[in-house]
Structure 1
Amino acid sequence: MDASGKLHPCKPDSQQQQIAVDIKASLASHGFDVCSTIAPEAVHDLAGPPTPLISLLEIEGPFLSRRSESEYVVLKRMIELSPTIICVTVGGGENTAQPETNMIAGFGKTTATEKPGLKLIRRDLEHPFSAMAHIAKILKTTFHVRARNVETDFAETNGLLHIPRIVEAVDINNAYESQNSIKELVATAVGPRTKESLELQFSFARLDSLCYAPCRRSDRPLDPGEVEIHVKATGINFKDVMVALGQLSDTYIGQRFAGVVTLTGSSVDISPGTRACGIVQGSFKSFVHMHERALLWIPDSLSFTEASAMPVAFITAHYSLTYLARLRKGDSVLIHAAAGSVGQAAIQLSQQLGATIYVTIMRTTKGHGVDVVLNSLAGEALTGTWRCIAPLGRFIEIGKRDIASFAGLPMAPFSRNVSFASVDLAVVYKQSLELLAHLTSELQHMLLATPREATPPYPLQIFKRSRVEEAFRYLQTGMQSGKAVVDWEAEDIIQMASHGAKNLILLSRSGPVTPAAEELLKDLRAQGVHVQASVCDITNKAELATTIQTCQMTMPPVKGCIQGSMVVKNILLDRMSYDWFCAALTPKIQGS
């Protein structure tokens, strides 16, 4: 195979020149007969047919973060001349100490959207002199492949190439949509001052379709014993993710909420304005209707986000352990997923009952097994735990995956007089208001007890309402602990203030010149927040130092920083000037 590659060291006597010699020898051994080395400034003089280029400009440090105007012109010329460019970097990847090294990969993907035929490939090395490895193979495998099918990012780890890649299953997506009549959703933007009544909607099996849509507030008269709640926070769990992904067939998302009573029907003891939380079918709405008996008053010591995380977790654990498992003092109990919200609630209740708690099995029970299992695992983990249940034991299944897939259950453990029961509060909600009201009343006593017998799960992962898709994807990973909650009220800075931030410095190039900015400052100060909104360009080191020095006179030491500055310059790279290119990159590089 004949192809020519141009190697681009910055200086003839640099490390790049030595690496270029090694790469040329490697390419020659793989049949690349014509290969020349040129300096960057010589790119302007190249002529002839399009030629694959191998760029070593980033070998001795990130090129894009320190580019000069002449180097920027060279970069544009390279993209103009060659349909295939391999950019060699050193020390990038996931855990890099120099994140600027990864900029070229993002630059390549962005540029490829403007030039569909461009193959800009990043080859990241563990150390400079491993550059010759794999270069020839990458060239050969990409030479005759269409640009849209080329892998564009190769990272070396322990001598092996790794490829970060997500491939959309277009055929499967189309099949889902055709079989399930995906409707076109009309999304509504949400912000800290959104007053419109909304509900969460989604298209079947697509988390990227999650959005808020207008929802007409019900004007029907409330039934006796019924109340209306203005939702302030909504707890979510893995069942909600399964519903959104089409793995469970429910018509609603969300069971738990916290908010403020707005309207009441007859024969109701609770008053409008009362802070309350509870269980309902479909809690991702601005307003929900429910029976008063399934409602809990929120103590003043609990926030809305904390309260929304408690009803389902504690009622599930209480019903499972006390009613079905009949957990007694001295019993042993195995709690799977103990770091989750139900697991933490189960631990609190088991401790109060005097049970012996395990989060592993057999090794700590000397082969006897455990008397009670609270299980949320699936597959072999479920059946393995089931086989280890002690004689007369009680196995409580709170998971949904195996039940929804009609999985089998080994019969042998039943010979030891054990019992297997499943718990789904959605069924309790539909079938027995009396039972749900009784469970809710018992949780209310726990919340009002002194000292309190039920505390919120920890940590609370709180997401803004506008970040609901991010919340669902966080749960989808299965790596979470504590509880995920969507806060319907807090947005950005307001959310920080509601979680105890009392001193805030807000920097911007223009300052609070808009009515919305002035209203934000007014809201923060009304909450007792000491806020200073300074005019400052963070890309100017001297200006930033002066601003920080001024803030130090009235503010305590800085404990954290959120870097959200950006400058948008929407123009194709071919026509983008050096000044505009710098304007877009500088806030993200020098500013950070």
Structure 2
Amino acid sequence: EFKGSSIRLLDADTRSLQSGITTSDAVLEETAETEFVLRGAERYVPRLEQLALHEVAPSRRTLETARDSSNFAVTMTGPGTIDNIVLREIADPELAPNEVMVEVAAVGLNFRDIMAATSILPDELENDEAYWRNLGLEFAGTVRKVGDRVTNLKPGDRIMGMGKGYLRRFAKIRADLAMRVPDGIDLIEAATLPTAFLTAHYALTHIGRLAEDETALIHLASGGVGLAAIQVAHDVGARVFGTAGSDTKRAFLKKWGVDEVMNSRALDFADEVRSLTRGRGVDVVLNALSGNGIDKSLECLAPFGRMVEIGKRDLADDKPIGLRSLYRNNAYSVIDLSTLPVEREKLFRQLLAEVEAKVAAGAYKPLEASRFPASRAAEAMRMLSRALHIGKVIVTFDEPSVDIELDLGAQFAVSAQASYLVTGGLKGFGVAIADWLSQKGAGTIILANRSGVPDAEAAAAIDIMEQRGTRIIRAALDVTDAAAVDRLIEEHAAGDAPLRGIVHGAAVIEDAFVSQLDAGKIDRVLRPKITGGWNLHVAVVEHDVPLDFFVNFSSIAQVIGSSGQANYTAANSVLNAIATYRRGRNLAGSSAAWGMIAGSGFVARSEAMTNYLDSVGIKPVQDSEAAAALSYLLRARSENLGFANIDWAAIARTNPGAATNPRISPLLGDRTGGRSRIQTELAAAPREAWDDLLADMIRREVAKVLKVEAIALADDRKLSELGLDSLSSFELKNRVEAQVEVDIPVAKFLQAPTIA
């Protein structure tokens, strides 16, 4: 409303005020920024970010594992970087008749997890089955539930296995694909066994056909598969050569009984092998080296030698190899154990039985491991990716409490045994919110307004809710009356249906330009929102009500600005602050800034308001869609979010000042397009014709605002006499400014001008 004014808003803490420097810099420096949050020597500026609902960052909660059996997974917000790893709540697995649910004690990480997390997995899926969403290929844990047809396992049995998506608290596995953990092995130790020993056993005994008195070269032998392969080779009775990439790891291998140890980072290991075997070479190479290491490993093969490839990187890169290296009756085989359960199930079950028997007999023993709790899973992944470990890297699920993200994709849960209060709930959008709560299963909904009486449209909706089985309480409540609010909260704080959620939607709208505001217009708009919101907060704190949610209904007008609504935007700003205040005290608190709601509410009942908002780029959203979005907003990490359908090009076109507002200007983009009709006409006409052209343009725009024929509008009648009020006058102002790209002072429209 005051485009010529320069106003800066500062939110400063005590430290920044005491220093003075940060504050004075924000006030005096030449900058386009108009809003600052000052915290000590740091300062922050706001930026509005536009997101799809599924992109909203979820809120977090602390899960106390001793008393809360909720499931959660170590997953990712998206592939590409290990920094994207998060802990997120998920539903319990649904069991097929032949499956069991296992409470996971620990998970062994594998290089495939790293490849999935960093987007280098060549066969990655692009749906919910993607590996980066389902990390963890092996586990050990305790059976908690069994499917109807399971006969070989029962709750309490200790098992281990491999598959996909086990990096979670509760997972499922086919009962016939699980291996039992012997009593003498700890479950966390057992998590080092499945993938390493199934791989090493399959590679050396089935594919490599390693025999007694033969020699095996095991690359990267200090890793999980390497250490398992050493045990497999020793069990066969073979001689073992090994490579490792550091002095520490090579020293470890010597203590583990490796006959000859070489450097995996130097390609002269091939010469050493030839020297140690008097030029013959080794019978089997278990390879995980990449690049030239593959070629050098092939050179190490004795006649009739077998090289078994378990590396993944060069396969993904389609690295060529020279066939001459296989000339002496040699074989080169590639294995990927993860495909066996699907493509060779009978063979896979045979491997499970063989490894299970070896573990039970004590031939295959748990491996050296670095352990990390689930809350440090990203740290564990980084250790594995940098090859800083010896043996396995294990993620455990034994923390007494863990912070997890909420699952925004899950159904929003309300209780059939609880009650929920909606202020402003007997009319408009409040009724739509109540209907949404009813559909979600709310047992009791308290709908409150000043009269306690619904209008006809609301009454019909309430009948449907009651037929659905929801108990509806109609309450007469003045939210600005602290005593009345306290009595209502006290009445419903406990009992058969204790209060568990509050939607504060009470509002009064009385628009006017700043120059038209008086104390009454300000007070009537501020009190229902601000005083009402604070009274509700005080009452629930006083009566110690453990709310699942407390949401204030704000407006997108507060977010992007709205001329003629200074009182309304101020009230909504305080509602946002109340939400932040509650969150800062670990209490439920949210503020939802709505755009134009169609189907119900004040805007839906006002054609003039609907036309005005549409003209400035705020498009309608159906009330049912907005209500459904609330399930995301209530579980979001940020307490202050908006939900609106915004035409940013229209915002830029109708509000020239928006482009200079750093809060929203990044969303506006560069204004493109040609001239408007009137600009083209003016450019082509002589100066003396401009008045008539402009009058015709204004007449057309007035007709659009009033929804009348332009020919019926007299040039000499005042706009106020034609039916334009403050709101529609501002719509006309925006329309005219958009046509001519000239700012017109608000005062000009308040002086009752004529078209002429």
Q: Normalised by the size of structure 1, how large is the TM-score?
A: 0.51
1:290 to 1:219, Cα distance in 2 relative to 1, 3 A: closer
Query: What is the CA-CA distance between 1:210 and the residue it aligns to?
Result: 0.6
SS of the residue 2:211 aligns to? coil
Larger deviation, residues 341-350 vs 196-205: 196-205
Structure 2 CA distance for partners of 1:187 and 1:485, relative to 1, 3 Å: farther
In the other structure, the counterpart of 1:261 is 143
Which residue matches 2:81? Answer: 206
Q: Aligned to 2:394, which of 485, 491, 495?
A: 485
State whether residues 188 and 212 of structure 1, in contact with CA within 8 Å, keep that contact through their aligned partners in structure 2: no
Q: Which amino acid aligns with 1:297?
A: R
Q: Which residue of 2 aligns with 1:313?
A: 196
After the TM superposition, which residues 412-423 of structure 1 pair with which residues of structure 2 at under 5 Å, given as runs?
A: 412-423=324-335
SS at match of 1:283: coil
Residue 227 of structure 1: which of 76, 79, 100 is its match? 100
Q: Which residue of 1 aligns with 2:92?
A: 217
**Would you say the 8 A contact 2:217–2:241 is kept in 1?**
yes
State the partner residue of 1:469.
Answer: 378
Q: Which letter maps to 1:195?
A: S
**Alignment partner of 1:241 is 2:123:** no
Measure, in 1, the Cα distance between the counterparts of 2:297 and 2:54: 40
| Letter of the structure 2 residue corresponding to residue 287 of structure 1 | F
Can you list the C-alpha shifts for 1:183-217, whole angstroms capped at 9, x where unaligned?
55636455552532112221110211111222112
Return the offset for 1:297. 1.1
Task: Note the C-alpha offset of 1:492.
Answer: 9.2
Contact conserved, 2:97 with 2:150, CA < 8 A, in 1? no
1:334-366 CA distance string (max 9 Å, x none): 001111111111111111111111114442223
Q: State the AA in 2 paired with 1:454.
A: Y
Question: What is the aligned partner in structure 2 of residue 457 from structure 1?
Answer: 367
SS state of the match for residue 82, structure 2?
Answer: strand
CA offset digits 1:31-76 (Å, max 9, x no partner): xxxxxxxxxxxxxxxxxxxxxxxxxxxxxxxxxxxxxxxxxxxxx9
Is residue 182–residue 204 contact of structure 1 (8 Å, CA) maintained in 2? no
Match of 2:698 in 1: none
User: What residue in structure 2 maps to residue 401 of structure 1?
Assistant: 313
Tell me, yes or no, if structure 1 residue 429 matches structure 2 residue 341: yes
Higher mean C-alpha deviation, range 230-239 or range 193-202: 193-202
User: What amino acid is aligned across from residue 255 of structure 1 in structure 2?
Assistant: L
One-letter amino acid matched to 1:205: G
- 1:312 Cα offset (Å): 0.5
1:448 is matched with 360
Match of 1:515 in 2: none
What whole-Å deviation, never above 9, does each CA across 1:214-235 have from its counterpart, x for those lacking one?
2112345423xx2221212111
Q: Residues 437 and 188 from structure 1, CA distance in 2 versus in 1: closer, same or farther, beyond 3 angstroms?
A: farther
- Residue 371 of structure 1 pairs with residue 283 of structure 2: yes
* Paired residue total: 328
What is the rounded CA distance, in whole Å, between the counterparts of 2:119 and 2:317 in structure 1? 12
Gap change, CA 1:261 and 1:299, over 3 Å in 2: same
In 2, Cα distance between the equivalents of 1:182 and 1:327? Answer: 52
Helix, strand or coil at the partner of 2:388: coil
Q: Structure 2 length normalisation: TM-score?
A: 0.40
- 2:58 alignment counterpart: 186
SS at match of 1:416: coil
Q: CA deviation at 1:278?
A: 0.5
The SS at the match of 1:208 is helix
8 Å contact from structure 1 (residues 314, 342) kept in 2: yes
Native 8 Å contact 1:199 1:286 kept in 2: yes
Partner of 1:347: 230
Q: Which structure 2 residues correspond to residues 9-24 of structure 1 after superposition, within 5 A?
A: none
Q: Which protein is richer in helix relative to its size?
A: 2
Alpha-carbon distance between aligned partners in 2 of 1:112 and 1:238, rounded to the nearest angstrom: 43
Summarize deviations over 1:424-469 as a string: whole Å, max 9, x none.
11111221221111111111111221xx1111111x1110111111
Which of these two proteins has the greater Rg computed from alpha carbons?
2
**Is contact 2:298-2:326 (8 Å) kept?**
no
Check conservation: 2:372, 2:396, Cα contact below 8 A.
yes
- Could you say which structure has the greater relative contact order, defined with CA pairs below 8 angstroms and 6 or more residues apart? 2
Report the equivalent of 1:326. 209
Partner of residue 195, structure 1:
69
The Cα of 1:264 is off from its aligned counterpart by: 1.8
In structure 1, what is the Cα distance between the partners aligned to 2:401 and 2:84? 22
How far does residue 282 in structure 1 lie from its aligned partner after superposition? 1.2
Q: For the structure 1 residues 219 and 355, does the alpha-carbon distance in structure 2 shift closer, same or farther, using more than 3 Å as the test? A: closer
User: Whole-Å Cα distance in 2 between the matches of residues 323 and 242 of structure 1?
Assistant: 26
- Tell me the equivalent position of 1:270: 153
* Letter matched to residue 434 of structure 1: K
Conserved? CA contact 1:189–1:212, under 8 Å: no
Corresponding residue for residue 694 of structure 2: none
Distance 1:341 1:189, change over 3 A: farther
Quickly say closer, same or farther: Cα 1:79–1:366, change in 2 above 3 A: farther
C-alpha separation in 2, matches of 1:79 and 1:404 = 53
Q: Alpha carbons of 1:288 and 1:79: their partners in 2 closer, same or farther (altered >3 Å)?
A: closer
- CA offsets 1:512-531 (integer angstroms, 9 cap, x no match): xxxxxxxxxxxxxxxxxxxx
Moved more, 413-422 or 214-223: 214-223
Unaligned runs of 5+ in 1: 1-75, 82-109, 117-176, 494-569, 571-592
User: In the alignment, is the contact (CA less than 8 A) between 1:464 and 1:492 conserved in 2?
Assistant: no
431 and 425 in structure 1: CA distance in 2 versus 1, 3 angstrom threshold: same
Amino acid at match of 2:145: L
Change in Cα spacing, 1:240 to 1:198, as seen in structure 2 (3 Å) is: same
Question: Which residue is equivalent to 2:545?
Answer: none
The 1:273/1:188 distance shift into structure 2, 3 A limit, reads farther
Amino acid across the alignment from 2:139: F
1:227 alignment partner AA: V
